Amino acid sequence: MATAPRVRPPGPRNPPLIGHYRSFRKDPPRFLLKVAREFGDVAYFKLGGQQVFLVSDPDLVRDVLITQQHSFRKSRLLQRAKVLLGEGLLTSEAPLHTRQRRLVQPSFHRQRLHGYAETMIACTARAREQWAAGETRDMLVEMNRLTLAIVAKTLFNADVENQSKEIGEALTAILHLFEIVMMPFSELIEKLPVPSVRRFQRAKVRLDETIYGIINDRRRSGEDHGDLLSMLLLSQDEEGTGEMSDEQVRDEALTIFLAGHETTANALTWTWYLLSQNPECEARFRSELQEVLGGRLPTPEDYPRLRYTEMVFAESLRLYPPAWTIGRMAKTPVRIGDYDLDTSTIVLMSPYVVQRDPRFYSEPERFDPERWTPEGKAARPKFSFFPFGGGARVCVGEHFAWMEGVLLMATIGQRWRFRLAPDQRIDHRALITLRPRYGMRMEVQPA
């Protein structure tokens, strides 16, 4: 007896061979937004020979990330990211992921955040003193430099400020390679002696030198600083028979090192842009800083008092989520909503798409921090906002990132405001993170 053909969700007509790869690569977030708006909460298309389900309903997002999470593994992009990150927290699968997350988690517990907050404020206070009224600075560069220094100091007790320019350039080269990683036959392309591959290899060597240098310094000193690096170096394997290898430590350290600053730097850069375009919101932000701080530097205790500042940061994360899409691959046949997925089908869930849905956010393109009152948040489904993911693989540093964003905004905002340079172009570029395509050159002005 013949098997009935499997029902597919609606979606755009798929061109032969490459599917929608070309349109997707040109501007992935806008492509996904267009597909979701035209075809609904579950849409189907192909990238090359790969079947893709785009899921944009918050309840179905929850099903993939939580209810049926054991039916999925990481998608192709993060599998391919192992070429850089190895078996780090972002790329590994259970049971290794479960073990490593259990090891890393204590470094982000709330009781540690107080000490981290003091470092965040001190680093930011030093950075803001290097700026002068009337000069133009690329805020993407400045925020990357600052958040890199913070993550190095708080989690690894290392000073990398004098290396920040080289590290930033290496990171940019690597992020650009991920456009190639997603191409068909990318495994073969990586073996060719082409300029982009050579740039990636040089950048990887540069980052490895930084991370292994930090590891070697700590091993030689033998000191336990109680930070993430000490936890990694002192950990035992499952049987308690030995410490982690330097390669294992490197994979975890590099993952946290990169993810812990790149995402927050992008979020802050978009925040300064959005505030510059919305003077009423900016005025209320500055009013709160004056009311709470009265001209003094923030302290860790001020963090929960800076409610409107947090609302501004949340609205920036809504419009420009650094992790603009989350992917999973079906390990077995699985049902999502009304549709059956074959093994190896990719499921994409895009915060960029869901967080611009008019069902949950009226006038979704408008910047409005008032959406983030307690009442506003309670009225929306949980997974209508998921910039940090969800489930067992929710971002391990989520609380760190919220606190860092708010305290950096307060420390910088009480001294300076920023206005776009006249010739600055605005658009995004979706690599692993959602970066400003042309940087973010802004004039520094007194607050």
Return the pLDDT at 182.
55
Return all residues near 156 (Cβ < 8 A) that are at least 6 apart: 214, 218, 227, 228, 229, 253, 257
- Pick from 447, 444, 407, 429: nearest CA to 122: 407
How many residues belong to the chain? 447
Look at residue 119 and tell me if it is in a domain: yes
Residues 46-72: tens digit of each pLDDT: 988 889 999 999 999 999 999 999 999
Q: How many CB atoms lie within 10 A of CB 80?
A: 19
pLDDT at 252: 85
**Can you point out the beta strands (E) in 322-374?**
326-330, 334-336, 339-341, 346-349
The pLDDT assigned to 2 comes to: 42
| Cis bond upstream, residue 374 (ω within 30) | no
Residue ranges for the chain with pLDDT beneath 70: 1-6, 76-81, 164, 175-194, 196, 236-243
The pLDDT score that the predictor gives to residue 190 is 60
pLDDT at 5: 55
pLDDT in the model for residue 99: 81
pLDDT of residue 238: 47
In Å, what is the CA distance from 86 to each residue of 90, 175, 212, 221? 9, 15, 14, 26
The answer as to whether 5 is a domain residue is no
Sheet architecture: strand order including 42-47: 42-47, 50-55, 346-349, 326-330, 72-74
Number of domains in the chain: 1
Closest among 302, 297, 238, 255 to 397, alpha carbons compared: 255
Record the pTM: 0.92
Q: What domain range is 436 assigned to?
A: 21-446
In a domain, 3, yes or no: no
- C-alpha–C-alpha distance, residues 158 and 143, integer Å: 18
**Is 183 within the bounds of a domain?**
yes
Would you say residue 1 lies in a domain? no
Given the DSSP bridges, would you call strands 42-47 and 346-349 parallel, antiparallel or unpaired? Answer: unpaired
* Residue 353 forms part of a structural domain: yes
Could you tell me how far CA 273 lies from the centroid of its own chain?
A: 18
Q: How far is CA 136 from the centre of its chain?
A: 26
Residue 237: what pLDDT?
46
Half-sphere exposure of 339 (CA within 13 A, CB side): 20
pLDDT of 71: 95
Instruction: Single out the residue of 77, 328, 280, 333 nearest to residue 180, CA to CA.
Output: 77
DSSP code per residue over 395-435: -TTHHHHHHHHHHHHHHHHTTEEEEE-TT----EEESSSEE
Q: Is 301 exposed, middle or buried (0-12, 13-18, 19+ CB in 10 A)?
A: exposed
Cβ neighbours of residue 318 closer than 8 Å, sequence gap 6 or more: 355, 356, 361, 371, 385, 387
Residue among 241, 230, 163, 201 nearest 83 (CA): 201
Closest to 336 in 3D by CA, of 324, 348, 326? 348
The CATH number of the domain where 105 resides is what?
A: 1.10.630.10
The reported pLDDT for the residue numbered 1 is 42
Residue 11, in any domain of the structure: no
Residue 6 lies in a domain: no
